Amino acid sequence: MLLKLYEKNNNPADLQRVVDILNDGGIIIYPTDTMYAIGCHGLKERAIERICRLKDIDPKKNNLSIICYDLSSISEYAKVDNGTFKLMKRNLPGAFTFILNGTTRLPK
């Protein structure tokens, strides 16, 4: 299925459809600033394994990225000290990627 979403004024039913797909363990493809990415709900292990199979990578040997809604939600999934938090607060949103160690909340 192809569903096109925009920066503003999306149909709430379309957004709910994406949320339902993610919550049901499905995967999505979405644009980034340089390419398309494959994504899933970060706590759905089977979906993560599916992405790893598609990319032909071993999830035990490769790090995966997660996207958090806002800075306050990052501490649920990553270990963030005060200095790193201040750095992120100064630079986000922006064209930066921060590599942090995950918490035990994320699937291994």
CA atoms lying within 13 Å on the CB side of residue 5: 16
- What percentage of the chain reaches a pLDDT higher than 90? 54
How far apart are the C-alpha atoms of 15 and 30, rounded to whole Å?
13
Confidence of residue 51 (pLDDT cuts 50, 70, 90): very high
Q: With a threshold of 0.95, does the pTM exceed it?
A: no
User: Could you state, in order of their start, the residue ranges of all structural domains in the chain?
Assistant: 1-64, 69-108
Report CA-CA distances (Å) from 7 to 38, 83, 86. Answer: 19, 32, 28
